[in-house]
Structure 1
Amino acid sequence: MNHDSSSRIVTQLKEWIARAAPGARLPSTRSLVAEHQASPVTVQKALQVLAAQGLIESRPGVGTFVREIRTARPSDYGWQTAALRTPHAQLRPASTAMRSAANDVIALHSGYPARELLPERLVRAALTRAARGDAALSRAPAAGLPELQSWFAHELGASMQAGVTPPAASDVVVLPGTQSGLSSIFRSLVGSGQPLLMESPSYWGAILAAAQAGVSVVPVPSGPDGPEPDGLDRAFQETGARLFYAQANYANPTGAQWTGRRGEEVLEVVRRHGAFLVEDDWAHDFGITSAPSPVAARDDSGHVVYLRSLTKSVSPAMRVGAVIARGPARDRILADRGAESMYVSGVLQAAALDVVTQPAWQTHLRSVRHQLQSRRDLLVTSLREHAPQAHLTLVPKGGLNLWARLPDGTDVDRLSADCERAGVLIAAGMEWFPAEPAGPFIRLNYAGPNPGAFPEGARVLGQAIERNGQ
């Protein structure tokens, strides 16, 4: 018999099953053969289809029956409440910046560059070579591949001021992304319950890492030129803190870049209090109209703990970064990393090193800077034309983001929801504040896909702001 006969039997038996009670016995195969004028093979095929769909079940030696529908008992995890007790840190939802977006959405929310801004050819070739090398089958050293340690040390050393001793390769600890480095630094250099000074607004991931480490975050207001040294000094005095987290170059979310003088003033405050500055240089490769100037380039006495990431500039799939620290601080960070992950994948380290040491890497970075400038300027122009209510504190000289102040009284959550319904994703600014927001802000990423849609995205945003104010 052909497939059509089998399908016909399936259809008719489904009608019979729909009328039958759960557990009812189906007619025998011989009866079905006679009733449907079909061969035993065709009947068996029909029964197999029904069984695969969960409508019937066969009991060897007994017969075939309509399957009873069993309602799954809801799982009960209530016992875990007593076992886990109250969490030591407030559970935060995943950041808006980590959301995926459909292709037809205007994505201004992400914290990552679009694929066309990545060195795709270099990355694919590097991963292929790394997979064929010894790194594919070897355990990497705990502190990282020596060649990659040397590269990170040389990168910072090249910007060192005259008379300042550059870092050694042994000062470098390679990380599986700098987010994990923040967690290790806060745990090992601050400790649970102890105060940590942090720029406000600041990177949401640093706020999350601090919360999970159980440290007590003390916000330090920071503007377009960075934190005021007097305010930072006062915060150290009042709290007894021994660590200050900051981003001196193209800060996330504000885009602020410290002047050389401001970096020296902050470093002097940190030295005076016998403290550490954790400098997160996440956007080192994204200068547009200026070059990054790390505060760490002015320090050789171990006050600056310097973080450098390759995740955003090389590939989000290649989570490789480094922390450069001197003295016992480096040993404590390495010990924490050993307890957390033992070592970073040698394949990823070898591939990352391959990419950044290719002659084409510098050519790629120059191209990216030009593209970022075009995208930044387009989004700025679009906002000024279609959403002038979104006031830009500054036009950043580098990085990936614009930070916009909205009119007082704006319901940012409602605004974000209105924009999303209209096909535009934005990031509400609340999650970049360690404490209460200083006002209604949004962060807009100009490195995302489809920059040609920026004018339309700005138009949607402007209309949503107007409705919000009514």
Structure 2
Amino acid sequence: MADDSSARIVAGLRGWIATAAPGARLPSTRQLVAQYAASPVTVQRALRTLTGEGRIESRAGVGTFVRAARTHRTADYGWQSGALRSPHTPIDSGAAALRDVPNDVIALHSGYPDRELLPARLVRSALTRATRSEAALGRSPAAGLPQLQSWFSQELGDATPAGLTPPVPSDVIVVPGSQSGLSSIFRALLAPGQPLIMESPTYWGAILAAQQAAARIVPVPSGPAGPDPAELARAFEETGARLFYAQPNYANPTGAQWPPAVHGRILDIVRDHGAFLVEDDWAHDFAIASSAVPVAAHDDTGHVVYLRSLTKSVSPALRVAAVIARGPARDRILADRQAESMYVSDLLQAAALDVVTNPSWTTHRRQVRDQLRLRRDLLARALHDHAPLAELQHLPPGGLNLWVRLPDGTDLGRVTQHCERAGLVVAAGDEWFPAEPTGPFVRLNYAGPHPAAYPDAARILNDAIARTAH
């Protein structure tokens, strides 16, 4: 009710301000309380809203006044063209997966799970406790909160076979999200212009981070069982690369998972070439029909740089992830993080640790696994029944997405535009390829909102393909 009253006051005062002269004094809080039959708290909330919009300003001990509108001269930034010269990488206008869309559309484009799949109660409780603790005023070490370092190392250590040395907490660097971790890894372990091998298709954010690090991207084709080890070995031999970025478990966008045999073969290739495997385990908590076993669990010689994120499984508001690396590579990555941001907020780290050490976290993950299976199967069945022109070549054992092939010659731009006009937003697959796309694809997020609308989404997609066919 208070929110409704506040909005009513804001709307009324906006109308009054539109006709008032700059510098005009607003009625007092007491007068507004009487005029709108609202509480003082509600009136103050409305005034804060108008202050944030730049419409009014408060003067301590005097009152609240209509803010004078400023006239702005047209800015000329032409001098920057000479100072900056040409960009060394393409300027990205933003990924389709990060678009905000209205609530009345069917949104299958997002890279995040629906809020219903997040541990909302755990997160809110954890944040409340964190704000009341020393974490609200503290600063953690550059490598992270020691207790959180221990949790990340234990998570990977639990998967480490007997006979191998598990990671220790000092191997862990807590970072503000996996995207930040990728940027630091590429900057720290690659010199500009050096080759970086990547699966194709792969995560668009990794491509962007590699471009910003001025790496020379070398794509290797990857399918439902991961890349062909022979192709990977050839790429290493031809380029002299020392870094290979991959997602062995539930890859974005395809949902592919490497079989255990591929783990061993690829790890042998990486070792033979004196190289690093950058393992992005972003979807570790989104298993459905299998378990996510990291390749890093089978390496204790420092060849695997492991990245584990909590951002999507806990909350997008808690951007917390970890890089686990050993030897000088770890030191270089930490040095880059210190130069970039010094440390990660103690408050966010404490809240994330609170969530993942809560006994209810295990129950939540089990429930999410069941929900993801239902949503994945519902969308796959909807495509089968209502979108015969869209081909789902692989049912992923985990992750958040279906990778759907469209007929050869399909104009992806026209398809996505037609879908959007009909109330469906999908992500065109082109931006997941580090080189030329191998065909027309769309990525569909089955973890998004309104799963009951999946049949309608499939019908809209099929109609868009049919209407835009050559």
- Give yes or no for TM over 0.5: yes
| Partner residue in 2 for 1:312 | 312
Are residues 354 and 70 of structure 1, via their aligned partners in 2, closer, same or farther at CA, if it must alter by over 3 Å? Answer: closer
Query: Shift of the alpha carbon at 1:92?
Result: 1.5
| Partner residue in 2 for 1:8 | none
| Partner residue in 2 for 1:359 | 359
2:77 aligned partner, one-letter code? Y
- In the alignment, the residues of structure 2 paired with residue 113 and residue 346 of structure 1 have an alpha-carbon distance, to the nearest angstrom, of 25
CA offsets 1:302-341 (integer angstroms, 9 cap, x no match): 0000000000000000000000000000000000000000
| Partner residue in 1 for 2:338 | 338
Are residues 47 and 128 of structure 1, via their aligned partners in 2, closer, same or farther at CA, if it must alter by over 3 Å? Answer: closer
State whether structure 2 residue 323 is matched by structure 1 residue 284: no
State whether structure 2 residue 128 is matched by structure 1 residue 128: yes
- In the alignment, the residues of structure 2 paired with residue 162 and residue 258 of structure 1 have an alpha-carbon distance, to the nearest angstrom, of 22
| Partner residue in 2 for 1:417 | 417
Query: Shift of the alpha carbon at 1:51?
Result: 2.4
- In the alignment, the residues of structure 1 paired with residue 453 and residue 160 of structure 2 have an alpha-carbon distance, to the nearest angstrom, of 41
| Partner residue in 1 for 2:21 | 51
Are residues 197 and 71 of structure 1, via their aligned partners in 2, closer, same or farther at CA, if it must alter by over 3 Å? Answer: same
State whether structure 2 residue 440 is matched by structure 1 residue 440: yes
1:357 aligned partner, one-letter code? T
| Partner residue in 2 for 1:391 | 391
1:135 aligned partner, one-letter code? A
Query: Shift of the alpha carbon at 1:273?
Result: 0.1
Are residues 138 and 407 of structure 1, via their aligned partners in 2, closer, same or farther at CA, if it must alter by over 3 Å? Answer: same
Q: Secondary structure at the match of 2:285?
A: helix
Matches within 5 A, 1:371-410: 371-410=371-410
- In the alignment, the residues of structure 1 paired with residue 72 and residue 167 of structure 2 have an alpha-carbon distance, to the nearest angstrom, of 61
Are residues 404 and 49 of structure 1, via their aligned partners in 2, closer, same or farther at CA, if it must alter by over 3 Å? Answer: closer
- In the alignment, the residues of structure 2 paired with residue 466 and residue 406 of structure 1 have an alpha-carbon distance, to the nearest angstrom, of 10
- In the alignment, the residues of structure 2 paired with residue 312 and residue 211 of structure 1 have an alpha-carbon distance, to the nearest angstrom, of 24
| Partner residue in 2 for 1:301 | 301
Rg comparison, structure with higher value: 1
- In the alignment, the residues of structure 2 paired with residue 182 and residue 72 of structure 1 have an alpha-carbon distance, to the nearest angstrom, of 40
| Partner residue in 2 for 1:77 | 77
| Partner residue in 1 for 2:242 | 242
| Partner residue in 1 for 2:182 | 182
| Partner residue in 2 for 1:94 | 94
Provide the aligned C-alpha RMSD in A.
1.7
| Partner residue in 1 for 2:64 | none
- In the alignment, the residues of structure 1 paired with residue 260 and residue 319 of structure 2 have an alpha-carbon distance, to the nearest angstrom, of 30
Query: Shift of the alpha carbon at 1:192?
Result: 1.1
- In the alignment, the residues of structure 1 paired with residue 143 and residue 105 of structure 2 have an alpha-carbon distance, to the nearest angstrom, of 41
| Partner residue in 1 for 2:323 | 323
Q: Secondary structure at the match of 1:51?
A: coil
Query: Shift of the alpha carbon at 1:386?
Result: 1.0
| Partner residue in 2 for 1:16 | none
- In the alignment, the residues of structure 2 paired with residue 134 and residue 310 of structure 1 have an alpha-carbon distance, to the nearest angstrom, of 22
| Partner residue in 1 for 2:428 | 428
Are residues 53 and 457 of structure 1, via their aligned partners in 2, closer, same or farther at CA, if it must alter by over 3 Å? Answer: farther
Are residues 51 and 108 of structure 1, via their aligned partners in 2, closer, same or farther at CA, if it must alter by over 3 Å? Answer: same
1:79 aligned partner, one-letter code? W
Are residues 405 and 53 of structure 1, via their aligned partners in 2, closer, same or farther at CA, if it must alter by over 3 Å? Answer: farther
State whether structure 2 residue 230 is matched by structure 1 residue 230: yes
Query: Shift of the alpha carbon at 1:362?
Result: 0.3
- In the alignment, the residues of structure 2 paired with residue 53 and residue 260 of structure 1 have an alpha-carbon distance, to the nearest angstrom, of 71
- In the alignment, the residues of structure 2 paired with residue 70 and residue 368 of structure 1 have an alpha-carbon distance, to the nearest angstrom, of 51
Segments of structure 2 that go 5 or more residues without pairing to the other structure are 1-15, 25-68
1:206 aligned partner, one-letter code? A
- In the alignment, the residues of structure 2 paired with residue 48 and residue 142 of structure 1 have an alpha-carbon distance, to the nearest angstrom, of 50
2:273 aligned partner, one-letter code? H
Query: Normalization by structure 2: what TM-score?
Result: 0.86
- In the alignment, the residues of structure 1 paired with residue 17 and residue 267 of structure 2 have an alpha-carbon distance, to the nearest angstrom, of 78
| Partner residue in 2 for 1:36 | none
- In the alignment, the residues of structure 1 paired with residue 95 and residue 254 of structure 2 have an alpha-carbon distance, to the nearest angstrom, of 17
1:425 aligned partner, one-letter code? V
CA offsets 1:106-126 (integer angstroms, 9 cap, x no match): 000000000000000000000
Are residues 381 and 76 of structure 1, via their aligned partners in 2, closer, same or farther at CA, if it must alter by over 3 Å? Answer: same
- In the alignment, the residues of structure 1 paired with residue 21 and residue 363 of structure 2 have an alpha-carbon distance, to the nearest angstrom, of 61
Segments of structure 1 that go 5 or more residues without pairing to the other structure are 1-45, 55-68
Matches within 5 A, 1:449-468: 449-468=449-468
Query: Shift of the alpha carbon at 1:166?
Result: 0.4
CA offsets 1:425-446 (integer angstroms, 9 cap, x no match): 0000000000110110100000
- In the alignment, the residues of structure 2 paired with residue 270 and residue 230 of structure 1 have an alpha-carbon distance, to the nearest angstrom, of 12
2:272 aligned partner, one-letter code? R
- In the alignment, the residues of structure 2 paired with residue 73 and residue 134 of structure 1 have an alpha-carbon distance, to the nearest angstrom, of 47
2:269 aligned partner, one-letter code? V
Identity %: 68
Q: Secondary structure at the match of 1:348?
A: helix
Q: Secondary structure at the match of 2:75?
A: coil
- In the alignment, the residues of structure 1 paired with residue 99 and residue 21 of structure 2 have an alpha-carbon distance, to the nearest angstrom, of 40
Are residues 53 and 384 of structure 1, via their aligned partners in 2, closer, same or farther at CA, if it must alter by over 3 Å? Answer: farther
| Partner residue in 2 for 1:192 | 192
| Partner residue in 1 for 2:347 | 347
1:405 aligned partner, one-letter code? R
Q: Secondary structure at the match of 2:313?
A: helix
Matches within 5 A, 1:152-171: 152-171=152-171
CA offsets 1:48-96 (integer angstroms, 9 cap, x no match): 9452499xxxxxxxxxxxxxx9985432111110011111111112000
2:255 aligned partner, one-letter code? G
My pick for the range that moved more, 389-398 or 339-348, is 389-398
My pick for the range that moved more, 385-394 or 244-253, is 385-394
CA offsets 1:370-414 (integer angstroms, 9 cap, x no match): 000000000000001111211112000000000011100000011
Q: Secondary structure at the match of 2:312?
A: helix
| Partner residue in 1 for 2:34 | none
- In the alignment, the residues of structure 2 paired with residue 436 and residue 140 of structure 1 have an alpha-carbon distance, to the nearest angstrom, of 43
| Partner residue in 2 for 1:34 | none
Residues matched between the structures, number: 411
- In the alignment, the residues of structure 2 paired with residue 47 and residue 87 of structure 1 have an alpha-carbon distance, to the nearest angstrom, of 44
